[in-house]
A = this chain, B = another copy of it.
């Protein structure tokens, strides 16, 4: 009844096409790869016949030929090792099946945004074929990305997007969804109505603005069970974030919930502790790092929205490799569904970052 979608017949190769048309394999090769030196008519005949026979290129044979392996450089910070190492693991994992056709070179900068320009220039000079970066300072990277585009070196952004850069794609947790999930969780965690606050990094970044939009959309959808009374820009300066958090807490003694949309949630937690309100306020944070773990265990942080670095790494490398190998372009943006990490799944997540 059901059409058999898998004819386990002998796979048809380039030679089969050549024999069927009475041409040589060289001609078929030229036709299939848009190379010069072939009549437009025969090219079309080859393409038609290839489609008719259901030709699928043998990736193994193709890669066998290319002695000069594809080189991709990966530029990531060292700062939050647990997070970035997971990302690297994902990249390594995805790259493994293609060795040694594909070789991945990891280069680190100390912190997000520090020294990334130098790494970028060095990579371009060394003649890599592709690049995976976590853009800390998109503005500084923009001219470099144009130079890369000029030499046909594709770039994949991970974790955060740099929409103004010339990039092949970006892989990240969808910020709107991240904010929306945080908003829904916070709404539901409140017993009845209550005031909540939103702590962000710098709203200039498109990502953070999107998170806020998603957050507000969820509050709306949840019938305004929660009132957003404060949006605090914490920047990424620890001291400033701490002081602003204190100010916000004092200004809103009835606060029942907090979402920290930036990775820098520790200053807010310290402020909560200082004011003796840990555990009395539902806190949702972003990402996961060692210092956050005890807070989750203790219940001071109800949930954290995790950006799934392993999957990001896997998908980033897969997209980049497919483009370098086949020329197939990925969607402009690859959005992952973020994980909700709570006390109950924390251990499993720490065990194997999946």
Contact = CB atoms under 8 A, between A and B. Distances in A.
A177 B343 CA distance: 10
Given A56-B99, A180-B345, A337-B354, A5 B106 contact: yes
Interface stretch (A58-66, A247-255, A269-277): A58-66
Contacts of A217: 344
Nearest to A354: B337
Nearest to A66: B60
A188 interface: yes
B61 A108 contact: no
A200 B189 CA distance: 25
A8 B58 contact: no
The residue among A58, A181, A218, A340 with the most chain B CB atoms within 10 A of its own CB is A340
A221 B346 CA distance: 13
Contacts of A108: 2
Contacts of A64: 58, 60-61, 64
A103 B6 contact: yes
**DSSP class of A's interface residues: helix, strand, loop or mixed?**
mixed
A302 interface: yes
A50 to B, nearest CB: 15
Contacts of A99: 11, 56, 58-59
Contacts of A183: 344
A174 interface: yes
Which of the listed residues A108, A177, A189, A344 has the most CB atoms from chain B within 10 Å of its own CB? Answer: A344
Interface string A219-251: 001100000000000000000000000000000
A174 B337 contact: no
A5 B73 CA distance: 13
Given A11-B69, A60-B62, A185-B342, 7 more contacts: A6-B104, A6-B106, A59-B99, A64-B64, A184-B344, A218-B343, A335-B348
Interface of A: 2, 5-6, 8, 11, 56, 58-64, 69, 71, 97-101, 103-106, 108, 174, 177, 180-181, 183-185, 188-189, 191-192, 214, 217-218, 221-222, 299, 302, 311, 335-340, 342-345, 348-349, 352, 354
